Amino acid sequence: GTFALYSLICRHAKVSLLPNQLASDTRISSFKLKVPSAELERSLRIKERLEASLRLKKLLLILVLVGTSMVIADGVVTPAMSVMSAVRGLKIGVPMVEEDHVVMISVAYLIVLFSVQRIGTSKIGLAIGPALFLWFCSLGGIGIYNLVKHDSTVLKAFNPVHIYYYFKRDSTKAWYSLGGCLLCATGSEAMFADLCYFSVGAIQLIFAFLVLPCLLLGYLGQAAYLMDNSGHAQQSFFSSIPNGIFWPVFLIANIAALIASRTMTTATFSCVKQSIALGCFPRLKIIHTSRKFMGQIYIPIVNWFLLASAVLLVCSIASTDEIGNAYGIAEVGVMMMSTILVILVMLLIWQINIILVLFFSVIFLGLEVVFFSSVLRGIRDGSWLILVFAMVVFFIMYIWNYGSKLKYETEIKKKISMDVMRQLGSNLGTVRAPGIGLLYNELAQGVPTIFGQFLATLPAVHSMIVFVCIKYVPVPFVPPSERFLFRRVCPKSYHLFRCIARYGYKDLHRENHQLFEQLLIESLEKFILREAKERSLESDRDEDTDSEDESSHVLLDPKGTVYSLGAPLLS
């Protein structure tokens, strides 16, 4: 969410702190935006202000990184919360189970859960759908049973006037309880993250006709049960299950907790990967767990880090109420950052009427601020741990982005000037051996300083040299046909080329190095052929040219070896 919004803003305004943007990036087909003409002047003013102010650029990046660090914090809280809540049901089924037993079983559960994370979701994908369908149906079924058995008058709760009465009776207690109300919604909205696999219509259909009705029936059923059993508020769900189906529902609840935890952990991996792509996280080993779905990845270091953090959270905060409060802080933090970015997108890109923007801001941001104030009151109870965790992740990301920016600026300052290259001549002051050399660096323009060290220390260099830059652009995907961008460096006789391999922040490097190099060489061949054709057309238009220029169809290395463009360069 936050990265998608940030990339949208980066496409429309030059707000990225890393100075590697090129005009050619905007010609990628997925880069183009349909910008309405209404209120264009306001949009341009905002754009100019953003591009001119370094403080605003940093503030925008900070908002994105705060939101992302909260999502990664969710990757710690969700497994801890889900597992603890599910295992706690044992205290109802087996009365002799104590709180210490719940904590120990939860820790064991978490260790097993994170140990099998590397298997990948696709291996157990067939079981996920039926399991969640059973889970929602059991929620709805138990809710209907409790409504019929206990007190159906709780249906009056749909009347909004009861909100007013609730706050009037005890406004402070009602305000405190808003954090718990928030947890009723935070899990269900996570299904909209599946938009990468399903259409908007399919998700809206499932949400409207399965998820929402079952959740409403489940909560109404628990309310009806509590009307007759007010002392069971701490374990209202498991206490309200009929004795005959307790253990099957307990099993389904644990499976649902497993699925929720795995899904959130996978989402955290995806978030870290996108952070790496945008230069905001240290580069880590990424393993792809599925041949079919490119979004299913596994990052070993992050996995074990999340496990250690989740175990620490469970052991230090044994109460699910306190963990729930920590979960609320992380969730509302993400929501607030996303809403602020959406408001900026509405003003800058969508150019929506200012009245509608204000209306949206007051409703959504106003609600989120109220909820956030409610969950913050429990920060002394132990949920401060999650804020500390999010702050650590934030500083890692911000410092890494700052270091990447310094490194790139240093490389730009130290790059070899064109005057030095011209003094060296086409042989570059050394021996040019037949072949193609690929020199990887991060510069999108100019000759990197490392090339000068190669010339000084190596006895020979290749007759054709390609400076390869792997660059991430602020779009989700780059079409393979637009992956490589070539241009010449220095005059033609030098046989030096610049290649920029462009990837979107959600693109995956599936090709191995041999396939990557083969694709690169084939693209280079197409570039040289196209260049030769353009030169041939220019010579045809020249009135002084009596015959076809043979030089436009061949390549010469410094030693005079002729390479015909009719034969592939790779062979």
For the stretch 170-201, pLDDT in tens is 988 888 888 778 777 776 665 665 555 567 78
* Tokens 């100075």, residue located: 19
CB 217 within 8 A of CB 146: no
pLDDT for 224 beyond 80: yes
Tokens 């953003």 map to which residue? 50
pLDDT at 25: 61
Rg of the chain on CA atoms, in Å: 30
Measure CA of the first residue to CA of the last residue in the chain; give whole Å: 45
DSSP 24-73: GGGGSGGG------TTHHHHHHHHHHHHH-HHHHHHHHHHHHHHHHHHHH
Say which range, 238-242, 295-299, 308-312, has the weakest mean pLDDT.
Answer: 295-299
Q: Determine contact, residues 490/496, Cβ cutoff 8 Å.
A: yes
Distance CA 450, CA 443 (A): 11
Q: What is the pLDDT of residues 399-417, one digit of tens each?
A: 999 998 888 888 888 888 8
The per-residue pLDDT for 295 is 63
Q: Give the CA dihedral 547, 551, 554, 557, nearest 10 degrees.
A: 160
The distance from CA 316 to its chain's CA centroid, rounded to whole angstroms, is 29
The tokens describing 470, both together, are: 């792997």
pLDDT over 90, % of the chain? 22
* Total-model pTM: 0.76
Contact assessment for residue 281 and residue 272, using Cβ atoms and an 8 Å cutoff: yes
Query: pLDDT tier at 511 (50, 70, 90 boundaries)?
Result: low
The confidence band for 567, taking pLDDT boundaries of 50, 70 and 90, is: very low
- Give the residue carrying structure tokens 């700052």: 402
Mean predicted confidence (pLDDT) in 452-471: 89
Least confident of 271-275, 308-312, 435-439, 551-555: 551-555
pLDDT at res. 552: 42
Closest among 355, 356, 352 to 40, alpha carbons compared: 352
| 5-55 tens-digit pLDDT | 887 888 778 887 766 666 656 566 555 554 555 567 778 888 888 888 888
Average pLDDT over residues 481-493: 87
Full 3-state SS string of 436-488 = EEEEEECCCCCECHHHHHHHHHCCEEEEEEEEEEEEEECCCCCCHHHCEEEEE
Mean pLDDT, the chain, integer: 82
**Going by DSSP bridges, is the β-strand pair 496-504/460-473 parallel, antiparallel, or unpaired?**
parallel
Instruction: Measure the CA–CA gap between 145 and 1, rounded to whole angstroms.
Output: 38
Hey, what are 275's tokens? 């952070």
Task: Give the separation between CA 289 and CA 341, rounded to whole angstroms.
Answer: 32
Orientation of helix 178-186 relative to helix 366-376, angle to 10°: 120
Handedness of CA 422, 425, 429, 432 (dihedral sign): positive
Give me the mean pLDDT over the 244-264 stretch: 87
